[in-house]
Structure 1
Amino acid sequence: MERADKGLPFLLKYENVADYKDGEVRILDRRAYPAREEFICCSNYHEVAKAIADMVTQSGGPWLAAALGIVCAARETKNLPLERAKEMLNQAADVLISARPTTSGNMETHIRRILKVALDALDRGEDAEAVTYEYVQKNLENRYRSSRKIAMYAIDLLPDEAHILTQCYAETLIGFLLLVSQERGKKVSLICPETRPYLQGARLTASVACDMGVPVTVITDNMPAYILSKGMAQVFISAADVITMDGYVVNKIGTFQIALAAHFHGIPYFAMGLPSIAYATINEVAIEERNPEEVLHAMGTRTVKT
């Protein structure tokens, strides 16, 4: 079967999101890209969870990294008594699920499913590492194919020529949106707010567009309302960290104000994603509050007086 990441750029190839080899989870450090192509190697699930919490990878990246963290934990259980091995796998799942609070509900559903595969393999006396890795790879293919289908629905809502305002980094969804638009002959371009403090819009979304030959303009985070007021974008599109069952969209900080500006100026806003049964209402979403020190720096350089 043809790989589902065919036609996607470097950032979205499976192995450049996260990979597993020889007992290590290898994660592309998106904090450094595109200035440097560096990978963080994690030899145990604790290191994987720390990498996720430290923003080594974002958007859909933690989905794959955490899954491979369970594979890594399964390797660690080799030669352990059965009950101790199961205990370790359950501990690994708990640690990985809690790495990022806002998406922990979705992550729990995802990781518990993978955990069950590993535990069942142990009960059958099989190689839990190999069985779990194979399951994760199949799920990865399915996730990419689902992202492509979502992008196809989004493309149907766009005019034949469109300047698209984005927010942060929608990962596979933005990649497939651009790929499908090219396949259908639609002329699209992106306008990417930089997305402080990690600049995912400038460094990641814009890089994907450049690698795919799509025109892209990077703007400051202060500019979306002005762009929308001048009719310079025909649509605002983002991913969604969570879509609750009562209809709320939770995404990168700043998405709300852009959506309000788009509504005020009569510009449609489309959030790409799937509702999550893990969140019946918006009240069940724990919004992550990160270290305020992050606001005082840009790409590792302090920008505020000490």
Structure 2
Amino acid sequence: MQTLRTTSLWVRDNQLWILDQQALPQQQNWLPAHDVAQLVSHIHALRVRGAPLIGLSASLLLALLAGQGLSRQQLAESLEVLRASRPTAVNLMNNLDRMKLALAQSDFVAAMTQEAWRLVEEDKQLCEAIATAGSTLVKPGSKLLTHCNTGGLATAGVGTALGVIARAHQQGNVVNVWVDETRPLLQGGRLTAWELGELQVPYQLITDSMAASLMAAGEVDAVWVGADRIAANGDAANKIGTYSLAVLAHYHQIPFYVAAPQTTLDRHCPEGAAIPIEQRAASEVTGVSGSFGSVQWAPQNARVFNPAFDVTPAALISGWVLDSGVVTPEQVKAGIFQP
């Protein structure tokens, strides 16, 4: 396979490497993802994350393993292990379905390599289309709020919601971005803040609980988020805390936009209640750990509920910005998301 380099993925010498998103922004470490066990570990630990990027990393690894001589049966087993690594993100399932079709071809090595590369190029194009469509909705002088991380770290291209924000800033329409810290692992505070700084987009970091007061003060003109899965009725699963923002935006009459590629749309999922929600480790809530060590602030026996995602009902969404264009609530009510 030819050499590939995106913000978070690197293919060189027929090996896959990932940028460790746990170490950002203090360190930029490239870690090996040379086999399925390594990549699954990275996915579980959120060293590689973002619905599009997870799907692309899995596809690239399968193609590389095929080129290294794994049998059709071994690849099929590896594919299913990767499929189970992140239940909420439908991009992973969609990408692996396409890789499975490639695996069924007579020359599956060439087919899987071509398909993996095609998926990467498609993602870059999807991101560009989303940024172009979404930026038309950003008014001059906008103060925007975003949740989690939806930029180049989460995709092969410019990103989804963050790609829209970056494009609108390039057009001179963004004066400030409020960045939620975002659980789990403060991905907004660590990753989105870092990306916006690299892009020289003005931002201010806030805790998730500060959004309501900013909206009440008129300091938020629109909310932009991504999605890990969009159900057929328009309900959208995204990082925990997104639903709260949608409720607040609705109350304060602020537009709330979901930006995602069509690969995030799950036409087989009728509504948000059918989306599986990943539960994460209690240690992410009871304390914190890092290069500095570990700190436990909750009682040792504290019971913890720690879902990684929540679901925002379609009724609270002002528009879905896909690579095919902007979908309105009226279109969704008319069944635009129906198979």
TM-score, length of structure 2 as denominator length: 0.77
Q: Cα offset for 1:183?
A: 4.2
Question: Does 2:300 align with 1:302?
Answer: no
Q: Which runs of 5+ in 1 are unaligned?
A: 1-12, 79-84
Matching residue of 1:254: 241
Amino acid paired to 2:61? G
Quick check: 1:19–1:27 contact (8 Å CA) kept in 2? yes
Matching residue of 2:100: 115
Instruction: Single out whichever of 227-236 and 180-189 deviates more from structure 2.
Output: 180-189
SS in 1 for 2:163: helix
Quick check: 1:77–1:88 contact (8 Å CA) kept in 2? no
Amino acid paired to 2:279? E
Alpha carbons of structure 1 residues 119 and 50: separation in structure 2 relative to 1, 3 Å: farther
Matching residue of 1:168: 148
Quick check: 1:16–1:27 contact (8 Å CA) kept in 2? no
* Cα distance in structure 2, aligned partners of 1:193 and 1:116: 39
* Cα distance in structure 2, aligned partners of 1:54 and 1:166: 23
What is the aligned length? 282
Q: Cα offset for 1:288?
A: 0.6
Quick check: 2:56–2:119 contact (8 Å CA) kept in 1? no
Question: Does 2:201 align with 1:214?
Answer: yes
User: Which aligned segments of 4 or more residues in structure 1 are displaced greater than 6 angstroms?
Assistant: none
* Cα distance in structure 1, aligned partners of 2:162 and 2:125: 12
Please point out which of 77, 83, 93 is paired with 1:97.
Answer: 83
Amino acid paired to 1:17? S
Amino acid paired to 2:113? Y
Matching residue of 1:3: none
Q: Cα offset for 1:51?
A: 1.2
Matching of residues 135-150 of structure 1 within 5 Å: 135-150=115-130
Matching residue of 1:7: none
User: Which structure's residues are more often strand, by fraction?
Assistant: 2
Deviations 1:44-94 (A, max 9, x none): 12221221122111113212211122123313435xxxxxx1211111110
Quick check: 1:235–1:269 contact (8 Å CA) kept in 2? yes
* Cα distance in structure 1, aligned partners of 2:201 and 2:221: 16
Matching of residues 129-208 of structure 1 within 5 Å: 131-171=111-151, 172-208=159-195
Q: Cα offset for 1:211?
A: 0.9
SS in 2 for 1:245: coil
Please point out which of 1, 10, 15 is paired with 1:24.
Answer: 15
Matching residue of 1:6: none
Q: Cα offset for 1:299?
A: 4.5
Q: Cα offset for 1:108?
A: 1.9
SS in 2 for 1:102: coil
Alpha carbons of structure 1 residues 299 and 144: separation in structure 2 relative to 1, 3 Å: farther
* Cα distance in structure 2, aligned partners of 1:167 and 1:208: 13
User: Which structure's residues are more often helix, by fraction?
Assistant: 1
* Cα distance in structure 2, aligned partners of 1:77 and 1:284: 38
* Cα distance in structure 2, aligned partners of 1:182 and 1:223: 23
Quick check: 1:89–1:115 contact (8 Å CA) kept in 2? no
Quick check: 1:46–1:92 contact (8 Å CA) kept in 2? no
Amino acid paired to 1:194? E
* Cα distance in structure 1, aligned partners of 2:141 and 2:160: 19
Q: Which runs of 5+ in 2 are unaligned?
A: 152-158, 301-339
Please point out which of 47, 53, 70 is paired with 1:56.
Answer: 47
Amino acid paired to 1:66? A
Question: Does 2:70 align with 1:70?
Answer: no
* Cα distance in structure 2, aligned partners of 1:91 and 1:284: 26
* Cα distance in structure 2, aligned partners of 1:36 and 1:302: 21
Alpha carbons of structure 1 residues 303 and 287: separation in structure 2 relative to 1, 3 Å: same
Matching residue of 2:252: 265
* Cα distance in structure 1, aligned partners of 2:250 and 2:62: 42
Deviations 1:100-127 (A, max 9, x none): 1112x4422211202322441xx23x7x
SS in 2 for 1:170: coil
Q: Cα offset for 1:15?
A: 3.1
Please point out which of 261, 264, 267 is paired with 1:277.
Answer: 267
* Cα distance in structure 2, aligned partners of 1:270 and 1:179: 15
Quick check: 2:76–2:100 contact (8 Å CA) kept in 1? yes
* Cα distance in structure 1, aligned partners of 2:258 and 2:5: 24
Deviations 1:133-162 (A, max 9, x none): 343222212112112212222211121111
Deviations 1:207-249 (A, max 9, x none): 1111111101001122111111111110111001111001211
Matching residue of 2:316: none
Alpha carbons of structure 1 residues 165 and 302: separation in structure 2 relative to 1, 3 Å: same
Quick check: 1:24–1:43 contact (8 Å CA) kept in 2? yes
Cα RMSD (Å):
2.0
Quick check: 2:166–2:201 contact (8 Å CA) kept in 1? no
